[in-house]
Amino acid sequence: MESMSDIVWAIHSRNDAWVGLISRMKETASERLGMTGIRFTINHDGAIENIRFNMEARRNILLLFKEALHNAAKYSDAGSITSELRIEGDMLILIVNDDGKGFNPDEAIKGNGLESMKVRSQELKGTFKIESTPGKGTRITFQLPVNELSVIQNPKIT
């Protein structure tokens, strides 16, 4: 049901604007973290307001966020999770950061979640990076080219 709801949400063009994406991310975090006691914050810069996300971008960004959020909630023992959306040059940067127990990425068991984040990032011609240190939390950063995300080619980003 949740998967179907995400598909229906991604299809509607009324969700092209950044506010639809941010709203869906907040809703997702509230549903996933509601009873865990984990605090959630999301920040974005003003430049993201100029992007009108295409359907594939909306879907994949939401699924990247959900997977990173799920992993943090399930494995990190975090007290808080923060997310950030910002523009750097011609790239959209999506960060999911937790203050949990961290891990050694070189020793992590590569499961479906990490593989799906890699594939989704590549579908949008972007990359993702995991930074984590035992005892110091985890930071997942996605770098996605704006031209692959927008319904408008070469949107004016300020």
Q: What is the pLDDT of residue 51?
A: 83
Q: State pTM to two decimals.
A: 0.85
**CA–CA dist 87, 110 (Å, integer):** 29
Helix or strand (DSSP H, E) at 74: helix 55-75
Tell me the three state secondary structure of residue 151.
coil
Tell me the three state secondary structure of residue 43.
strand
Q: What is the pLDDT of residue 157?
A: 58
**CA–CA dist 129, 116 (Å, integer):** 13
Weakly modelled stretches of the chain, pLDDT under 50: 1, 7-9, 11, 15-16
**CA–CA dist 120, 139 (Å, integer):** 18
Architecture of domain 2-149: 2-Layer Sandwich (3.30)
Q: What is the pLDDT of residue 131?
A: 95
> Domain residue spans in the chain?
2-149
Tokens 């920040």 correspond to 43
